Amino acid sequence: MPSSAARAELAPAGTLRAAINFGNPVLAGKDASGQPCGISVDLAREVGRRLGVTVALVHYESAGHVPAAIASDAWDICFLAIDPKRGADIAFTEPYAVIEGAYMAAESSALRGVDEVDRAGTRIGVIEGSAYDLYLTRELRQATLVREASAEAVMNLWVEGMLDVVAGVKPQLETDAARIGGLRLLPGRFMSINQAMGTPRGREAGAAYLREFIAEAKSSGLVAQLFARHRITGAAMAN
């Protein structure tokens, strides 16, 4: 049962504003009528139901735009990958889903595994502000990151011959490979992307409630039910 303090912090104006990132097709998308759908949408609505408040979905086309909107007080909860940089401003729950971060290259590329990518002269396309952009910014030593605002923009650079490798979440890369052709995913993963709920820091009671909610959603089987309902592939339920 949420406390009155948690309710006041998570829905200070009486409405729970949930940031939904449509840049990650594993977690959110739109149905045939254009309405938001997916596991993050359902989790947001369940939190709102338990708080006894209405839910307003705040749409974002990429993950990087969500943390940037904290300064304008645009949302109350979010669904993002846990990252140290984001954690400075966002209090995260434990993860509820894990997605592989993968590389994609041309079928003719000499690259045979993820450990061969970080080489001088290798141009890697990423969505700016994504979890894998933040991770690779910290970890790469020789390769160059080329940032664009969306998956479509990154793939346009590929088509123009401006990239050697594309980094991303495995399901999205598989979709792009099938659509464009002549591409293959490199074996293995360069990171595990832990997806969690979060709220802006400074909302201690609200953050504590979200942690309890996710723990219960995992233990009760709710997360498993949502995985099955949305036929999620390319991700695993977090332990």
Question: How far apart are the C-alpha atoms of 88 and 173, rounded to whole Å?
Answer: 29
Q: What is the pLDDT of residues 107-121, one digit of tens each?
A: 999 999 999 999 999
Question: How far apart are the C-alpha atoms of 84 and 159, rounded to whole Å?
Answer: 33
pLDDT band, residue 233 (cuts 50/70/90): confident
Strand partners, 212: none
- What are the structural domains of the chain? 4-97+195-237 (3.40.190.10), 99-191 (3.40.190.10)
Question: How far apart are the C-alpha atoms of 150 and 163, rounded to whole Å?
Answer: 15
pLDDT(204) > 90: yes
pLDDT(234) > 90: no
Dihedral sign, Cα of residue 221, residue 196, residue 92, residue 114: positive
Q: Give pTM, 2 decimals.
A: 0.90
Q: Return the closest-CA partner of residue 188 out of 210, 173, 202, 198.
A: 173
